[in-house]
Amino acid sequence: MPDESEVIALWIAFKKGDRAAYARLINIFYKVLFNYGTKLCQDILIVEDCIQDLFLELWQRRDYLSDTEYVKFYLLKALRRKIYFEKNIQQKRQQIAIDTDYEVEFIGEFSIEANIIEIETTDQQLRKLNHILTKLTKREREVIYLKFYQEMDYEQIANLMSINYQSARNLIHTAIKAMKNAWQKD
Amino acid sequence: MNYIEFTTEDFVLDDYFRKWVNGQLPQEDDFWENWLAEYPEKMEMIRQAEFVLKALEMEHTPIDEKRVSEKIQQILQLTEPVIWRDKPTFFQNNWLKIAASVACIGLLMWYFLQTRSQLPTKYEQLITAQAAQSIEKINNTNEPLKVSLSDGSVITLQPKSRLSFPSTFALDKREVFLSGEALFDIAKDVHKPFLVYANELVTKVLGTSFSIRAFEKDQSVVVRVFTGRVSVLSGKGGTQQINQPFNQNEGVILTPNQMVVFDRLPERLTKTLVENPRILSVDDELPLQNTSFNFDNTPIEQVFETLEKSYGVKIVYDMEVLKNCTVTAPLGEESLYDKLNLICKVIRANYEVVDAQIVISSRGCS
């Protein structure tokens, strides 16, 4: 991942119509977006379509885009919204949940078994941990993902998920506290 | 940063600490090792934070690098600006300008006529043309999806396929719309023909089983028949045909083990045999008389008759040339094509499938 100032410079150049900067931005963010997208939607084809759409729109609307220091945040948010609309349309086509407003569901899973082996744990700790992880809500998972994988601050996470700053903070702290307790040996 | 006062949560949330746990710090950065050496009493807390971080790792959908670069190329191509090269000398002659504009107008007209002559045939357009309230089933899973209709018909929708049908069928016909691939098992109702609109093809049946493959992106549309009789109408059918009587003259009739391939560019209907013809069961229009393929000095005429009846296919050959040929071969479970290969070897012949018929050419047996 290139540093922030490089990305900001690329963004400014791209807005002026610089094709190379545009291509570079796509190369930098495609996988980041794919990773997030596949945690919001199981269908890879839909995710790919949404990403393509997003970049096409960026190019078409480049003259109207504002300068932003938070390019990644901007892109992730746009993708989240796209997937939200796409899934909503699909749900309606299938005549499910027409009356309820559809929420983006975070479907990312923890890969605890594979990683925890690296550090010393007892069976009991592992059991507790598994229990806690399965109990984490979709929102908690998404906050954790955005914080640890996309390195976003609380303000961005709150904005992206349309929750308030304090909720974003609380969601993460509750989760970490629970996991911390799992580590404590009885 | 005053790490002394840090709690476990603070460590977990600290980017610098997290990079160290994940091994993302440069080799020469030994800050954390030094820090721990200085404050060994913090060891427990550090291990706890490490444990939490490791536990929070997530599964990631594998990324196919090749696909990613293809997708990126695609985006770049789609946004590629059209470049008009400025060559001032090129248009200096007036006649060149005129010629160019004539060519442009010609192109425009051609395009206009081209688009006008192409009536809307796509699934979406067909759907929107429907007045009656319809139900749509979309198979986004990786498994076939069974859809039961009110008339008792069962449609098996393949992945990435969509099917649309009215909530109640019309009095005189049953119409459904397909995009993608599906297998149809249609309940018999002679008074209500069953019509499937799939891209440029309209398939009409009375009661039968068949499959249609009509993906919007594919170059061709394929209809395969397993049982019964099916007529397929091609061409710029689509919406226009919906309210018009079905004109069989424009289409082809398919019997079991036959299929039709509709090539979209250029538009062309080809009738042929399915890839792996099946032996017809007794329920079919051509009942089985002799299931035994154990030929023992059997005259070729009888051999071909057995195959024709079993598979419901037509075999064309010159009786005069083959009159002395006999076949001795204990055939059984092989596919129709394997049987034909073996038989042709014996009688020194070749076969080809032309217009859903098997044509035998041979120099005869002495």
pLDDT in tens, B264-314: 777 777 888 888 888 876 544 444 444 678 888 889 988 998 888 888 888
The rounded Cα A107 to chain-centroid distance in angstroms is 11
Q: Chain A window 56-75: which residues touch B at a Cβ cutoff of 8 Å?
A: 56, 59-60
Task: Fill in the amino acid letter for B273.
Answer: L
> For residue A141, how many other CB atoms are within 10 A of its CB?
22
User: Per residue, what are the HEC states of B60-93?
Assistant: CCCCCHHHHHHHHHHHHHHHCCCCCCCCCCCCCC
DSSP sequence for B329-358: EEE-SS-HHHHHHHHHHHTTEEEEEETTEE
Residue B124, chain A, CB below 8 Å: the answer is no
Per the CB < 8 A criterion, the answer to whether A181 and B51 are in contact is no
pLDDT tops 50 at residue B31: yes
CB contact under 8 A, A39 and B9: no
Q: Of B278, B317, B312, B313, whose CA–CA distance to B299 is shortest?
A: B317
- Say if A36 is an interface residue toward chain B (CB within 8 Å): no
Considering chain B, what is the average pLDDT of its residues?
78
Mean pLDDT of B78-91: 52
CA angle (A62 as vertex; A57, A68 as ends), nearest 5: 105
**Residue A82 and residue B160: Cα distance in Å, rounded?**
20
pLDDT in tens, B153-207: 889 998 888 999 988 888 888 889 998 888 888 887 767 788 888 877 888 876 6
Mutate to test the interface with A, among B7, B8, B11, B12 (most CBs of A within 10 A): B12
Q: In this structure, are residues B273 and B353 in contact, taking their beta carbons and an 8 Å threshold?
A: yes
User: Would you state the pLDDT for residue B239?
Assistant: 38
Mean pLDDT of B49-64: 85
> Which residues are CB-neighbours of B364 under 8 A, at least 6 positions away?
B321, B322, B323, B324, B325
ipTM: 0.86
**DSSP letter, residue B191:** T
Which two three-digit tokens encode residue B219?
């170059």
- Name the residue among B226, B190, B225 with its Cα closest to residue B206: B190
- Block means of pLDDT (10 residues each) for chain A, 186 residues, are 85 91 94 93 88 89 84 93 82 57 72 61 76 85 90 91 91 87 69
pLDDT of B357 reads 85
Which residue reads 């002679």 in tokens? B190
Interior CA angle at B68 toward B62 and B71, to 5°? 140
Say whether pLDDT at B37 is over 80.
yes
Within 10 angstroms of residue B54's Cβ, the number of other Cβ atoms is 21
Question: In DSSP terms, which residues pair with B134 in a beta bridge?
Answer: B166
Size (chain A), residues: 186
B55 interfacial to chain A (CB closer than 8 Å): yes
Task: Determine the pLDDT at residue B288.
Answer: 47
Chain A residues close to B79, C-beta within 8 Å: 22, 55-56, 59-60
Minimum distance, in Å, between the CA of residue A68 and any CA atom of chain B = 22
